[in-house]
Amino acid sequence: AARQELEHCRTQAELQNLKSQLNPHFLFNTLNNIYSLIQIDADRAQQAVHDLSRMLRYVLYESSCPTVPLAAEVEFLRDYIELMRIRYTDAVNISVESPGNLPEQLSIPPLLLIVFVENAFKHGISYSRPSFIHIRVRYIDGKVYYSIINSRHTAEPSGKDAGIGLENVRRRLQLIFANRHTLAIDTRRPNMYRVKPVSYTHLTLP
């Protein structure tokens, strides 16, 4: 029993450390986006600051919980995407598809998907060539499925230079779900990068 408790404490400490590394990564990228926006459109920058404050509230308060409602996490991703969308023209095709009636008790670890979305923007968007990001969330038979597909404009697959964020997500998934999840990254097509799917048995809020 004492050994199990020690292992549990070690796992929780490592999870907290990984989350603390994810948050600064997100903040750094978002602040850079707003800095660029200030030089283009001050009014939109003010709206972006308002959106960011709402997102930070989620990061600061919700991410301290072991799990959050999946619907709230999807809304957080939508807010992030809207903030990012301001930087690009309508030529960038961005879509988010998710069920409109997700069960309230359906929950996931917080900030689990934002790294994939950040990487999609970082590696999948070009100012000179047609680009797209397609995100899909599904809930089927007690499992949550994600699919994030984006265009690719570099010779190297995005996952090779995605940095510490992607490795943290891999580690978090393993610590939380052990063998009850899958993470497949498809880079076979030279012009497309696909994370398909991240799936695992759902958690319920206490």
Binned average pLDDT, 10 residues per bin, the chain of 206 residues: 63 61 68 83 85 84 82 89 78 88 80 83 83 89 84 60 65 77 78 68 44
CB within 8 Å of 94: residues ≥ 6 apart: 81, 85, 88, 132, 133, 134
72, HSE (Cβ side, Cα atoms, 13 Å): 21
**Segment 54-98, tens digit of pLDDT:** 888 888 788 778 888 888 889 899 988 888 887 777 778 999 999
How many other C-beta atoms lie within 10 A of the C-beta of residue 99?
A: 14
Query: What pTM, to 2 d.p., does this model score?
Result: 0.76
